[in-house]
Structures are given as structure tokens and as C-alpha cells.
Structure 1
């Protein structure tokens, strides 16, 4: 048996997935896994106790990654500007680059990234989120999403900053659209 939590706000219609006895006010049938419930509660307490420190650490990694990219790769743009955002995620557009090609080359280096949200991984369509933010289609096609987590280190960010610039340069050299393009790193809010 596994364990999970589903929070349903009072008044929101909800149909149980597991039907049967009257457990949980008729919302779930069957015997609960008490040991896992206790363990889940303790894990949630521990995570909450370290949440602020971990968010601060991961935010510093994200900022180091962004600053390193903007310094090393001209024509790189943070999609969404500096609005309040998650501490672990950044989405950067690279002019003159196709995201899927960059992802293949990053994958060869053992680096994970995506061209959209986790729920659209594998989709070849431009990100609906970037479209809703009015990011130009040309930039959306060259946008990469980097997500950091509890297991990431400064060494991981340094490795990405070592591998990414030559990948972007290689792809731009192969792209006729990018020939002759130069300029300072950009930060754009749409």
C-alpha cells in the first residue's frame, strides 16, 4: 500500500475513487495504512521545517545559473522577467535556437532540461504558457526550462554553465536565422 494526500475544500463536489464502507465520512472505502499515514505526517513536518532554508539555497543556485547564462550567452532572455516566481525554476529563451535540438545535445551531456512544463514534456507544440505570456513564437521555440531541486549542487550549475554556451553557439552557427546576430543579454518581461 502507498500513501498520499488529497485536500478537498469544503463545498467542492467530490466523488470517491474507492467506494465501500463509511470511512472518512464516506469519501473512501477500505482500511487506512496507519503506519504510512504517520510516516507521511512526519515527513511533511521535516520538509516544512527545512523549507525556507532549502528555498533560499535553491534560489541562489537558480540566480547563479541565470546570471551565468546571461553573461556567457548573448541573446539569452529570461521569459517572465523577475516577477515573484518559484525559487527552483527558470525559463530562458535563446534567439536563433530550436529548443528540441538543444535538449538533445544537453541530454547527451547528461543534463536534464525541458522545453515546457512537465505536463507537456514530449510535445512539439510551442509552450501554451509562454504564448499566454505573449512571448514571441520565435523566442518560444528556443526556450528552455531549467528546474533545480534538493539534490542539485553548485557543481551541477557550474557544469551546465560549462556545457550550455558551446551547445547554443553550435546550434546558432548551424542556423541561418542567427547569422550576424549580436547584442547584450536581455531580460524581458512580457
Structure 2
């Protein structure tokens, strides 16, 4: 991922004024998950608190690499991503939160297995771009960001942008044959 906004995402994260609150994650078929989120004002202090809550909740959720505002009950276009330490991740750029993000370029489409905290019992095969350019804004400052990434991190970004649009990975699988019971690890 390259950050073409002249800001360090790690420095931004370190500047979060206070730690977030861990919030409950909603499960499908909760209607908030199926509703398109509202665009937000990234400079609104409430959006900065939401960003901190997303990061805090993501960090305590086992295996979580991304979390969107609708998953914690907020119908807003805000999400957090961090693929650090995931075995499928090659390109890794730490923790970041984006507001009002959109995919502006997507190439090299490939199928891959996805899971979701909001669909705890299933995984599914979803075809996604393995290279993306995403534009959004940083919460707190509103600084515009253009991110370029690939592989698993690109998949995670697209998954979270879908959440903000009211979509689950279940909406992208080819059919029941592409769904699998999630393995339970003790």
C-alpha cells in the first residue's frame, strides 16, 4: 500500500486522543448490516471516537483483520483494517481507518475464501480484485488519502467497503456451493 496523502497512517493512529471502547459486533441478519452507510464528516469528533471504537473492537476480536461501522451498529461509511500477522498477508501496512472510502481502480480478479465476524458460522469463496486503489479520508483530520495495495490487504479493503455499502460477503458468493461451515478452533 502506498499512502499518497503525505501523512503517516501509523502517526495518525498514535494521535488518537483516547483508546476506543470495545463494542458488540452485530450478526446477520441485523438490518443495519443490509443498509448503505451514510457519508460522514471525517473532522467530526464523533467520527474520531467511532474510529477508535472500531480499532479497539477489531483488536480484541480473534482473527479479525477489518471491521466496519455497520458491524458495531453505526450506519456510517467508516472502517478499520489491519492484516498484520495474518498468514495470507504479504503486503502489510499496519492499522488504519478510512472514512467515505471508494475503490477507484481494481485489477487482477481472483477468487478467495472470506469470513466475517458478522457471519460467524460460514466462510465463502468470493471473487475480488487482488490490486486496488482506494480513496478516502482520515478520521479526525479529514486528510484525503489514496491507498494502493494488493493481495490479502486489497481483499480486506474491498470487504470493508462492501460493509459500508450494506453488503456482506454472502451477497458476493456464486451460490450455496461456494459456502462452507466455519471450522471451530479451540
Q: What TM-score do the two structures reach when normalised by structure 2?
A: 0.26
TM-score norm. by structure 1 comes to 0.26
Q: Which has the larger radius of gyration?
A: 1
